[in-house]
Amino acid sequence: MQSSRLWTDSFIDFLVDRDQERCIQCQVCVNQCPYGANIYRAAADIVDSRHENCTGCRRCEAMCPTDCITVRRYPGQFREHGNWTERQVKNLYKQARTGGVLLSSTGAEVDLPIYFDRIVLDACQVTNPPIDPLREPMELRTYIGRKPSSISLSREDGALKLATQIAPQLTCEVPVLFSAMSYGAVNYNFCESLARAAAATGTYWNTGEGGLHRKLYPWQKHTIVQVASGRFGVNKEYLDAAQAIEIKIGQGAKPGIGGHLPGEKVNEDVSETRMIPVGTDALSPAPHHDIYSIEDLRQLIFALKEATDYTKPVFVKIAAVHNSAAIASGITRAGADAIVLDGFRGGSGATPTMIRDNVGVPIELALASVDDLLRAQGIRNEVSLIAGGGIRNSADAVKAIALGADAVYIGTAAKIAVGCTVCQRCYTGKCPWGITTNDPCLSKRLSIEIGTEQLANLVEAWAHEIKEMMGLMGINAIESLRGNRERLRGVGLTDRELNILGIKHAGE
């Protein structure tokens, strides 16, 4: 049994600062905070704060009609120490108190270099004029899938005809796809918003390992389904509904460990979709129990292709780790149509903090090395590359494509588009913004109508910006940008880093 309040409980994270002069006791903050950080004290007729319950999501601040709340970092400070920072100290307190594994959500938050921020783009001047995307056509369409090494033509009745049979391709109107977020980890409203937005913008959303809810089948033309180690919700109909099938081997936020959906999040609908009993923890194993080699992976890839009559591309998703390049080469040879590389900063609904912040490789480095090796081995055309994990804006997407990706996956960015404030408490299942919760009352906070608009706006805005950036580089088709590292320059990077990224330093 847990003991009562300890001294360490006093060292809290946030302060819900309330200007009582402006508070009208409307209690909107009280009913909007699922953690109980705002309370109404009837005897005194005042709304008061319970600072210790605050997770810093700022929902109350956003909803207050008189702007009387400011959520701030708790001003009390520990004595400065370079090694024993507040975060380290509080983590130790937490573990000493609970004896448990520290949990977090979202991607790694450690202060490692973000290489995207140290890479700049080239622009055309005078001798190689830029293109104005508002006046001239710009091609963002991308085909994800295996491309033939050569093509042969035949002549029929005098007309040339393609004799080579092209492998199935996924046509993306924008090279930005919504990454795998499972139903259960995120709620139905978010899934439908993603599906509708993907349909509206000509891109795709990914079911994650949570199966495809019955009501989401109408958007199957824009759906990628995932087959993960737990095999939740996988059946023939599910595979048939998809436009592509993704085998999930690893996830950037937690390479090498499986998923864990807490039983509290498994309600009737989630249970039906995942095909597991209500209230049971959905634990996906760390490895696929039928994959211990590239040959085993090949068997699963072809089992899925066989099951769907070779009509759709099969992706393999791996976390970016030290040996990604060699692994990617193996995956290509195993017959995958696309490789998804999920970087160090990739998000998650629930991940042990130590794993989130200490395992994996930044996507920029992994992507460049994978693209390099596949090119060196002459098999880059046999597979498409999708990069994910910490893509924050359209410039990151452009840089990722220039480093060698065919398209990018966005997950956290999509959540932020519908309200997420990155409070990193998805694992509690009480998301105050109604995204990572299955509580029916909280879920209603994410309106499918508004969510769809926001997500579609995001993709459209990025499409405009990508076109602008291509235009200024004098490029009119995204295909010409892919792997075009000559248009990138590093700033403040070492020779070794530049070498791995395959780019020159600015000024060269």
Partner 1 sequence: MHRVFPREDQCMACGLCVVACVVEHSQSKDVLLAYRKENPRPGRRNVVEENVGVSLSLQCRHCEDPACVEACVNGALYIQDGVILVNKDHCVACWMCVMACPYGCMHREDRGDRWNSNKCDLCPGRKIPACVEICPNRALVWEER
Q: Do 243 and 198 meet the contact criterion of CB atoms below 8 Å apart?
A: no
Task: Dump strand ranges (E) for 430-480.
Answer: none
Distance CA 395, CA 116 (A): 8
Nearer to partner 1, 65 or 148 (CB): 65
Q: What are phi and psi of 281, to 5 degrees?
A: -65, 135
Nearer to partner 1, 399 or 445 (CB): 445
Nearer to partner 1, 192 or 396 (CB): 192
Q: How far is the CB of 120 from partner 1 (least distance, A)?
A: 39
Nearer to partner 1, 19 or 237 (CB): 19
Nearer to partner 1, 15 or 30 (CB): 30
Nearer to partner 1, 109 or 453 (CB): 453
Q: How far is the CB of 67 from partner 1 (least distance, A)?
A: 10
Q: How far is the CB of 166 from partner 1 (least distance, A)?
A: 44
Distance CA 432, CA 448 (A): 16
Q: Where are the alpha helices (DSSP H) in 39-85?
A: 59-63
Q: How far is the CB of 39 from partner 1 (least distance, A)?
A: 15
Nearer to partner 1, 22 or 289 (CB): 22
Q: How far is the CB of 412 from partner 1 (least distance, A)?
A: 23
DSSP state, residue 45: T
Q: How far is the CB of 444 from partner 1 (least distance, A)?
A: 5
Give kind and range of the element (H or E) at residue 294: helix 294-307
Nearer to partner 1, 29 or 397 (CB): 29
* Angle in degrees, CA 337, 338, 339, rounded to 5: 140
Q: How far is the CB of 455 from partner 1 (least distance, A)?
A: 16
Distance CA 159, CA 155 (A): 5
Q: How far is the CB of 211 from partner 1 (least distance, A)?
A: 22
User: Under the rule (CB under 8 A), what is the footprint of partner 1?
Assistant: 22, 24-28, 31-32, 63, 65-66, 434, 440-442, 444-445, 447, 449-450
Q: How far is the CB of 440 from partner 1 (least distance, A)?
A: 4
Residue 202: which residues within 8 A CB-CB, separation 6 or more?
Answer: 171, 172, 173, 174, 222
Nearer to partner 1, 19 or 295 (CB): 19
| Longest CA–CA separation in the chain, Å | 92
Q: Do 411 and 179 meet the contact criterion of CB atoms below 8 Å apart?
A: yes
Residue 70 burial by Cβ neighbours in a 10 Å radius (0-12, 13-18, 19+): middle
Task: Give Cα separations from 90 to 23, 93, 152, 328, 359 (angstroms).
Answer: 32, 5, 65, 39, 21
Q: What are phi and psi of 49, to 5 degrees?
A: -105, 145
- Coil, strand or helix at 162: strand
Distance CA 438, CA 189 (A): 9
